[in-house]
């Protein structure tokens, strides 16, 4: 089977960071930095959206476990983290509660039975995928979610003036032939179209500068909240 671009991208990034930085720093930087602060924000978002004791969460692109670490301190859930880099999964497991499960998956499908997740999160993941890849994960997310279950994912959009900096950086790197990571923008009408095609209800968009969860800082990336009817 051909290797997807995201595997090569992230294997390279993680290998470079691990070779040059202390492990905690490398593992934080691999997922965007600010491990504990961002972890608390991700956790606050899911709690705000109703994640509660006894529920099951699928964390797609869990990385080095910022979210798992924060959840472990606040709520007792059935957690499954999926990622494409084993070193990130190993580090995430080392900082998470023992009953949390972590799985390497390099396909465009979710290796999870039908209708078993109350919530599915994908933070800063679709920002690095092609639209058709994201679409396939969304399609499978609908299968994996229980009726009434929610999918929340973060995204970058040209409608946000703050997100322009990310696009600008990508252009700058390309000019220098630096072959940057894929940084993908998704516009709100595209998400609404995907919902229509896949049978999701789009419940809300949350601006990157807003923090309706109250007790943690905003995420900076925008959020889409989808519900499986």
Smaller CB distance to ligand SAM: residue 67 or 186? 67
* Cβ-based neighbour number of residue 137 at 10 Å: 22
Instruction: Sketch the per residue contact string, 28 through 47, with ligand SAM: x for CB under 6 A, - otherwise.
Output: ---xx---------------
Q: Which of 45, 88, 119, 151: binder of ligand SAM (CB under 6 A)?
A: 88
* Pick from 143, 79, 149: nearest CA to 108: 143
Do 93 and 72 touch, CB atoms closer than 8 A? no
SS3 state at 226: strand
Q: Which of 49, 60, 219, 223: binder of ligand SAM (CB under 6 A)?
A: 60
Separation of alpha carbons 114 and 110, rounded Å: 10
> Any contact of residue 83 with ligand SAM (CB under 6 A)?
yes
Q: Which of 40, 128, 163, 228: binder of ligand SAM (CB under 6 A)?
A: 128
> Any contact of residue 85 with ligand SAM (CB under 6 A)?
yes
Beta carbon of residue 130, minimum distance to ligand SAM (angstroms, whole number): 10
Separation of alpha carbons 152 and 145, rounded Å: 12
> Any contact of residue 84 with ligand SAM (CB under 6 A)?
yes
- Cα–Cα distances (Å) from 71 to 75, 97, 209, in that order, read 6, 9, 22
Residues that bind ligand SAM (CB under 6 A): 6, 10, 31-32, 60-63, 66-67, 82-85, 88, 123-125, 128
């Amino acid at each position: 089977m051909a290797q997807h671009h995201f595997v090569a991208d992230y294997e390279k990034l993680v290998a470079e960071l691990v070779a040059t930085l202390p492990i905690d720093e490398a593992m934080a930087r691999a997922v965007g930095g600010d491990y504990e602060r961002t972890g608390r924000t991700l956790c606050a978002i899911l709690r705000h959206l109703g994640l509660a004791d006894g529920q099951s969460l699928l964390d797609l692109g869990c990385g080095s476990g910022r979210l798992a670490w924060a959840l472990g301190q606040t709520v007792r859930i059935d957690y499954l983290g999926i990622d494409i880099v084993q070193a990130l999964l190993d580090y995430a497991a080392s900082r998470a509660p023992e009953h949390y499960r972590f799985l390497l998956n390099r396909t465009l499908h979710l290796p999870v039975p039908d209708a078993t997740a109350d919530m599915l999160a994908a933070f800063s993941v679709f920002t690095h995928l092609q639209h058709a890849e994201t679409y396939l994960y969304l399609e499978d997310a609908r299968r994996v979610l229980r009726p009434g279950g929610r999918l929340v994912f973060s995204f970058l959009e040209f409608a946000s003036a703050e997100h322009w900096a990310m696009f600008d950086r990508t252009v700058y790197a390309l000019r220098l032939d630096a072959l940057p990571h894929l940084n993908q923008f998704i516009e709100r009408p595209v998400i609404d179209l995907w919902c229509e095609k896949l049978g999701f209800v789009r419940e809300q968009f949350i601006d990157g500068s807003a923090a309706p969860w109250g007790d943690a800082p905003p995420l900076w990336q925008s959020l889409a909240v989808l519900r499986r009817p």
